[in-house]
Structure 1
Amino acid sequence: MALKPSLRDVLPAEFQDAARTALASREDATTGMPWFVRVLIGFGAWLASWFLMAFLSLGVVVGKEVGAIILGLLLTGGAAILRRMGSNVFLTQLALSTGLAGQGLFIGGVWALTESEKVAALATLVLQTVLLFVYPDAIQRFLSTLFGGLALLLLLRLTGTGVLVDVTLVGLTVLAHLLFLQQGRLQSGPWGGLVTPAAFGLVTTLLASLVMRTWFHDFYRSLFRKGSAELPPGVLTLGLAVVTLYSAWRVLEETDSEPGGAAGVTAFASLGLTAALTLHTPGVIAAIGVLLLGFHRRSVVLLGMAVLFVLVFGVGYYYDLQLTLLAKSLVLLGSGLMLLGLRFFILRRFPAAEEVR
């Protein structure tokens, strides 16, 4: 099955001409431009903006926190205005690099002025929320969602309890899955342009947080308030498993498969068994949920992210096992044989239909 279905595959015949016209109208002047020319233009824009930032920083910002805050806001606002003036490569990259530098000046100035990580995290969250809606660029919206999500989790770690942080992480997972599941309907709304970058930003926030929790747990724990307890890994795994099972149920419905049929029971049993085997590594079931969304939305980027993090969390699962090396090898051997047997069962029970050419 192709990862990129054609318009003929996904739309009725009466809507195909209108869709082709809409896609053609969105093409810009850079479509036929060689990729290396676009790279050079973008590099020139970034280089010019950083020279400007260095000049302004030497004259205005050094030792002057209020100046950094004001200059950062001016640069960020100017970048948003500049981005709305055009969509060619130079303008978009110049606006993006200038805006990122402005955001860094603003957040750094707030932190230096208040000497408070809480205030800096709150300022980051507010700024990125505003940019998410006012800055018309997919990359900036992705970064705003990522930075805002991480700032929210950090703020909760510094002020709340570990349980609240984990509950919020599950909530962000729910939001990411809903955005991908309802992607087609939401993109036709007034804020359709921020659906996809926000969904990718939330997924990246989830996976990055789980990497911190799995591989750098001591540092992750040091960010909490003293005495603050977090959810046991098994509870977090079950929460993420529920979200993944819900998405699997929705995908089965959208593909006209019966959730209570043989295919649905097999999918649910496989996901449940995976969650049960990796209770101490919540990242595994989270990455499998992303893999499910990637296959459903035919997103190569999402599939690549999911496969990469499945491997990362798989290695973490191996090292997290409190067993001898011999016992670990037997566990890996047994789980591998079980997965091969499951694959054989699925191929025999649900043979793939022949592709129609």
Structure 2
Amino acid sequence: MAFEPSLREVLQPKALQPARDVLLSLPEHQRGTLWFVNVLSGLGAWVASLFLMIFLGIFFLGGSNINAIVTGLLITAGAVMLRRANSHGFITQLALSAGLAGQGFFLVGVEGLWGNETATIFAAFVLQFVLLFVYPDTLQRFLSTLFASLSLLYLLRVHAPAVVADVALVALTTIAHVLLLQQGRLQSRDWEARLVTPTLFGLITTLFGVLLLRTWFHGFYQDVFRKGGETPMGVLTLGLAAVTLYSAWRVMEETQAGPGGAAGVTAFAALALTALLTLNTPGVIAALGVLMLGFHRRNAVLLGLAVLFILVFGVSYYYDLKMSLLAKSLALLGSGLLMLGLRLFIARRFPVAGEAP
């Protein structure tokens, strides 16, 4: 059996002292809590919240929409105050589940009172926008960003020309890219640090969700928005390509890779060519932009999302080609050889420091 020394045997006591000080500075409930204890606490909080909501739904609402709105707002406000007062695992999950139930009560009451889909979605947008700033929880802020973004896009798609919703989607994508590019500076500030990560993940999830709907469920998308027209997919692709090219420029500036040199020209040409070849599948260039920023920020979750959706949108691009199966196969073979050739050219033309060209 191989001898495997412990950290206590490898490190001197003085080297362990900083970690010990940090551990002792944590609240008592965060010290050494076993993972299954946290899971059971969270499960108990959700069950308790479920029974509470059933009780309120049966005995207090009484079919009154005003009661539903007031009760929902009171429960949501109580969840915010409870979460701000205590960060224990049980309290965190209880506040989250109760807050989500309160939001549901509120929206059901709005829908029943006005009977108008637009009023309900606008109310959801306002509520989620407020919770994004006042609710101190990463998951709730992610959900608030996601639901607020989707509500905004829906309202614009229904009540404005179709191109406005596409411009808004490109604008939301730009915000996500800027948050990633400025992540280090923003997270140095305590208040902004709590907003950056859930907001950018909510915006990126919105981007991929909308593009997935328009690409794989295009018939359903047309049925939902049958009253309005639809802009060509190429317009959206070019907008997302412009955002990706801007981010590539900023990444090369930050890494001092010379965006105006041969390396920059090669990268920009490859991105532009990809966008032109996939005009009817905007998800490809959008996923490439997220992949680039995820690699730049060493974010494994973003990398995983980007790779997954590159495959998803790549399959969609393949099936959308108006070609025979033989022509599609040759196109895939040719594009693969082209990418391998481009990889060889970049490796030889721009070798990494310390590697032989």
Note the aligned Cα RMSD (angstroms). 2.2
User: What displacement does 1:154 show?
Assistant: 0.9
User: Aligned AA for 2:204?
Assistant: V
User: What displacement does 1:62 show?
Assistant: 5.3
| Residue ranges of structure 2 left out of the alignment (5+ in a row) | 1-17
Q: How does 1:193-204 map to 2 (within 5 A)?
A: 193-204=194-205
Distance 1:317 1:31, change over 3 A: farther
63-72 or 238-247: bigger deviation: 63-72
* In the alignment, structure 1 residue 55 sits paired with structure 2 residue 55: yes
What CA deviation, in whole Å up to 9, does each residue of 1:34-61 have, x standing for no partner? Answer: 2222111111111111111111111123
Question: Which residue pairs with 2:333 in the alignment?
Answer: 333
Distance in 2, Cα, partners of 1:59 & 1:341: 70
Distance in 2, Cα, partners of 1:298 & 1:210: 24
Question: Which residue pairs with 2:208 in the alignment?
Answer: 207
Equivalences, count: 336
Distance in 2, Cα, partners of 1:219 & 1:21: 56
User: What displacement does 1:353 show?
Assistant: 4.1
| Residue ranges of structure 1 left out of the alignment (5+ in a row) | 1-18
Question: Which residue pairs with 1:117 in the alignment?
Answer: 117
Contact 2:23 2:31 in 1 (8 A): no
What CA deviation, in whole Å up to 9, does each residue of 1:121-141 have, x standing for no partner? Answer: 100110001001111111111
User: Aligned AA for 2:311?
Assistant: L
Query: Sequence identity, in percent?
Result: 63
What CA deviation, in whole Å up to 9, does each residue of 1:191-213 have, x standing for no partner? Answer: 33111111111111111000011
User: Aligned AA for 2:222?
Assistant: R
Question: Which residue pairs with 2:148 in the alignment?
Answer: 148
Distance in 2, Cα, partners of 1:20 & 1:253: 36
Question: Which residue pairs with 2:220 in the alignment?
Answer: 219
Contact 1:161 1:225 in 2 (8 A): no
Contact 2:281 2:317 in 1 (8 A): yes
Question: Which residue pairs with 1:297 in the alignment?
Answer: 297
Q: How does 1:193-272 map to 2 (within 5 A)?
A: 193-224=194-225, 226=227, 228-272=228-272
* In the alignment, structure 1 residue 280 sits paired with structure 2 residue 280: yes
Query: TM-score when scaled to structure 1?
Result: 0.89
User: Aligned AA for 1:67?
Assistant: N
Specify which structure has the bigger relative contact order, considering alpha-carbon pairs within 8 angstroms and separated by 6 or more residues: 1
Distance in 2, Cα, partners of 1:60 & 1:171: 43
* In the alignment, structure 1 residue 69 sits paired with structure 2 residue 93: no
Question: Which residue pairs with 1:34 in the alignment?
Answer: 34
User: Aligned AA for 2:84?
Assistant: R
User: What displacement does 1:184 show?
Assistant: 1.4
User: Aligned AA for 2:322?
Assistant: Q
* In the alignment, structure 1 residue 138 sits paired with structure 2 residue 141: no
Larger radius of gyration: 2
User: The residue matched to 2:333 in structure 1 has which SS?
Assistant: helix
User: What displacement does 1:32 show?
Assistant: 2.7
Contact 1:72 1:103 in 2 (8 A): yes
User: The residue matched to 1:258 in structure 2 has which SS?
Assistant: coil
Distance 1:141 1:20, change over 3 A: farther
Distance 1:34 1:147, change over 3 A: same
User: Aligned AA for 1:326?
Assistant: L
Contact 1:159 1:225 in 2 (8 A): no
User: What displacement does 1:72 show?
Assistant: 0.9
Contact 2:76 2:100 in 1 (8 A): yes
User: Aligned AA for 1:59?
Assistant: F
Query: TM-score when scaled to structure 2?
Result: 0.89
Contact 2:234 2:279 in 1 (8 A): yes
Contact 2:76 2:102 in 1 (8 A): yes
Distance in 1, Cα, partners of 2:125 & 2:280: 30
Contact 1:158 1:223 in 2 (8 A): no
User: What displacement does 1:223 show?
Assistant: 2.9
User: The residue matched to 1:191 in structure 2 has which SS?
Assistant: helix
* In the alignment, structure 1 residue 185 sits paired with structure 2 residue 185: yes
Contact 1:166 1:230 in 2 (8 A): no
User: Aligned AA for 2:46?
Assistant: W
Distance in 2, Cα, partners of 1:25 & 1:265: 53
Distance in 2, Cα, partners of 1:21 & 1:265: 50
Contact 1:161 1:224 in 2 (8 A): no
Distance in 2, Cα, partners of 1:329 & 1:63: 60
Distance in 2, Cα, partners of 1:21 & 1:188: 24
